[in-house]
Amino acid sequence: MWLQGKRLVIIGGTTGLGLSAAQAFVKEGAHIVVVGRDADNIKKAGEKIPHCKALIGDASQPTTAEQAIRTCIETWGGFDGLYHVAGGSGRRYGDGPLHELTLDGWNQTLNLNLTSLMLSNQAAVRAFLASGTAGSILNMGSVLGFSPSPEYFVTHAYAAAKSAVIGFTRSLAARYAAQNIRVNVIAPALVETPMAQRAAGDEKILSFIRTKQPLDGGRIGTPSDLDGAAVYFMSDYARFTTGQVLAVDGGWDVSEGQIPAQP
């Protein structure tokens, strides 16, 4: 019960990585508030997960995280940590390699992955400072923020946003360490989520992944692969850890990856 008594907020906690983390957090003793954009997913999360309050909201709106934290305090009697998962691919907006990248693709991708994270982190820090309590913030990064893949994963706005998450997180960690506010990053590689459907359905990419993510048979990750790290960062076992970037990537960052031969 690593999270016994913790009151936690997950922004983007109703599908994929966030939903898996929500279930893991509750299993470890936490009471949680999850935020998502889809009403059906909100309903399912609220019904499926005990000790969970589910809210609908857009992470890129300034009041969403504030409301979630306020709900956490009112419902569970306090606020101990924030896990920001919300984000995603900007391909549908025009993200891609630089020579094809549209301005709308750039702006939308940064808003989705960076501005939303800034707003949730800001709300969390303000809440911790107002209450004078310690707290933990965990941000969702990506290996693409520091370990690019030029053949199959070429979305330059997304890479820029995830790289910025690291710089932003470490800067916050430095500024607020004296207040016992910890801020860290978890950086996955390819994980089986709704965002990964394009890659998961492409045999060439799957062949590449077998050598790029060679652990455990060379597979796509599952959301539960990240749960242990997330639980650690939100727990008191991480009370002396801040400003760190942990890649949970099946070996992506230390593996060359073989491009399949073209027919």
Residues carrying an active site annotation: 158
From residue 128, alpha-carbon distances to 122, 165, 177 in Å are 10, 20, 12
The torsion region of residue 73 among left (phi > 0), alpha (psi -120 to 50) and beta comes to: alpha
Q: What is the DSSP string of 114-173?
A: IIHHHHHHHHHHHHHHHHT--EEEEEE--GGGTS-BTTTB--HHHHHHHHHHHHHHHHHH
Report the C-alpha dihedral over residues 116, 235, 166, 192, rounded to 10 degrees.
-70
SS3 56: strand
Helices (H), the chain: 16-27, 39-48, 62-76, 103-110, 116-131, 156-176, 197-200, 203-212, 227-234
**Rounded to an integer, what distance in angstroms lies between the CA atom of residue 86 and that of residue 122?**
15
37: Cβ contacts below 8 Å, ≥ 6 apart: 56, 57, 58, 59
Q: HSE of 238 in the Cβ direction (CA atoms, 13 Å)? A: 27
